Each structure stands twice: as structure tokens, then as C-alpha cells.
Amino acid sequence: MPTSDPQTPGAIAFIGGGNMARSLIGGLIRDGAEPRNIAVAEPNVDLRAALVRDFGVAVHAANADAARDADVLVLAVKPQVMQTVCAGLHAIAQARKPLIASIAAGIRIDQIERWLGGDVAIVRCMPNTPALIGAGASGLCANARCDAAQRDLAQSILSAAGLAVWIDDEALMDTVTALSGSGPAYFFLLVEALEDAAVAQGLPRDTARALATQTCLGAGRMLREDGAAPAELRRRVTSPGGTTQAALESFAANGFDEIVARAIAAATQRGDELSKQFED
């Protein structure tokens, strides 16, 4: 497989062609990567056909066929099959020493390294579902074998689908999972609650949903584009004695901050528990 110019990642093989892999492939191609430099291993024949149709990448049924010439291996498979997948890629990983990027939740770097035979550069990534529309938020953590160029490679791949930030301590990846990995579900829950509450006050459901959705979208854009801290933006919209203050006081009286803190703690703990399930 040819290698692309220095401005884009070299030969990349995705092991797994599901939604998250598709989002990264689409982002890479939008950013200028050549489809001929991307190979995907996917057992599902319909998914393989869709990858060829939508992106023009090379597809394979067998992992080893996709990985054979790769400079970067993106492991985009379910955690439950990661050990088996790594065992099948052991020989290629040891012969070529590609950069390994894993987006499997709950699988630690040391586990992947052990399963691949050791002495490999690995970046553990935690993307989230908004990556599917190019608005993802990913945490990245690298082992000591990753050099600066390999870190840049991993950054370019994940940044193709949104924001990508480095986490120095892998132990904090469970918190990243709880915050941004699971975070879209919290947001959707809030929109559901806003919609239901407005309907209970008499608004038609379609109107309530449209207003709740656009309000949250606009607030998110303000956070990104204004640059002020969330607390400052909240103060700007809160007039003393007004409607917003009444709502915020109700949130506070019902322990909103504590509810969120307990939820993040619960998700973080569950992430640690899931990692331990894959211990040898």
C-alpha cells in the first residue's frame, strides 16, 4: 500500500468497520487523506460494501490482510474480542511495529501491549458518538514507546472527527469515559426532561422539542465561541429575581451539583470495573 505525503497519516488499517471507524475514515478523507492509503477489515459483507461505496477504501474480510502494510493500526472492535483480535495481529505488530490506536472502551494500554507481544507504540483513545457528525470529543493517552511523530499521527486521526486532547495519566481515562464518552447520553436526558416539562406546562411536544434542541445547540455554540467560563455565561442570563434565577434556585435546592457528581463518579467506577473484566 502506498504511503501518502507527510501532511497526512501514512497507510492506516482499521480493524473493524463500524460506526466509529466510519466516522474517523470520513473525517480523514475530508482532511485530505487518500482513500487508497486506508484499509478496513470487517467481517460483515454489507458493511464492507458500504465502505467501498461511501469512501472508496480497500476492504478485507481478514484482519491480517488489512493490516499487512499498515503504518497505523486502529483497533475499532468490541472490548470482548480485543484479546482474540490482538492475538491474530501479533506477528504483524512485531514485524512492522506500527502505531497501535485503540478505541475500545475499558481496555488498558498494558493489556493491549501484552496481547501484541510487547515493545509496541500504543495510544488509547476514548471518542464519543458525536464523532459521527465530525463533532466528537476524544481523550488520548500514549505509552512511553510513542514518539512525538506517532503522537502527532494519533492526534491527526482523532482530530479528523472533532476535538482530541491528551491525558497524561491513563488512570484518568475512566473519568474521560464518564465525562465525554458517556456525556452525550446525559445531554440527551436533559433535553428529554426539558421537553417533557414543557409539555406538562402545555406546550405541544413538537414545539417543546424544537425549542429545547435549539436552545441547547445555541448554548453549546456560545460556550465554544464566546470563550467565557460557563459560570460567567450563566450569570449573564440570570437576572436577579427573574425567571432564570427561580429555576436555578430550584435546581440547587434539589442538589443538582451533587446529582451530577454522583453520576460521573458512578460511571468512572464502572469504567474501572470493566477494565478489570479483561484481566488475564
**Last-in-domain residue among 147, 173, 199:** 173
Give a three-class secondary structure readout of the chain. CCCCCCCCCCCEEEECCCHHHHHHHHHHHHCCCCHHHEEEECCCHHHHHHHHHHHCCEEECCHHHHHCCCCEEEECCCHHHHHHHHHHHHHHHHHHCCEEEECCCCCCHHHHHHHCCCCCCEEEEECCHHHHHCCEEEEEEECCCCCHHHHHHHHHHHHCCEEEEECCCHHHHHHHHHHHHCHHHHHHHHHHHHHHHHHHCCCCHHHHHHHHHHHHHHHHHHHHHHCCCHHHHHHHHCCCCCHHHHHHHHHHHCCHHHHHHHHHHHHHHHHHHHHHHCCC
Q: What cell does 100 get? A: 497501535
- Say if 188 falls within a structural domain: yes
- Say if 280 falls within a structural domain: no
Q: Is residue 168 domain-shared with residue 191, that is, in the same domain?
A: no
- Say if 7 falls within a structural domain: no
The radius of gyration of the chain's CA atoms, rounded to the nearest angstrom, is 21
**Last-in-domain residue among 173, 195, 227:** 173
pTM for the whole structure? 0.86
Q: Is residue 161 domain-shared with residue 254, that is, in the same domain?
A: no
Query: What CATH number did the domain enclosing 237 receive?
Result: 1.10.3730.10
Q: Is residue 158 domain-shared with residue 39, that is, in the same domain?
A: yes
Q: Is residue 73 domain-shared with residue 205, that is, in the same domain?
A: no
Burial category of 252 from C-beta neighbours within 10 Å (exposed 0-12, middle 13-18, buried 19 and up): exposed
- Say if 6 falls within a structural domain: no
Residue ranges making up the domain that contains 223: 183-275
**Last-in-domain residue among 149, 173, 197:** 173
Count: domains in the chain: 2
- Say if 207 falls within a structural domain: yes
Q: Is residue 142 domain-shared with residue 34, that is, in the same domain?
A: yes
Predicted pLDDT at 280: 61
Q: Is residue 132 domain-shared with residue 33, that is, in the same domain?
A: yes
Q: Is residue 230 domain-shared with residue 155, that is, in the same domain?
A: no
Alpha carbon separation from 259 to 186, 196, 265, 270 (Å, rounded): 12, 19, 10, 17
- Say if 3 falls within a structural domain: no
Q: What is the mean pLDDT of each run of 10 residues along the chain (280 residues)?
A: 44 95 92 94 97 96 95 94 95 96 92 95 95 93 96 94 95 94 95 97 98 96 94 96 96 96 95 79
- Say if 100 falls within a structural domain: yes
Query: What CATH number did the domain enclosing 149 receive?
Result: 3.40.50.720
Q: Is residue 90 domain-shared with residue 132, that is, in the same domain?
A: yes
- Say if 1 falls within a structural domain: no
Q: Is residue 191 domain-shared with residue 156, that is, in the same domain?
A: no
Q: Is residue 156 domain-shared with residue 236, that is, in the same domain?
A: no
97 contact partners, CB below 8 Å, separation of at least 6: 119, 120, 121
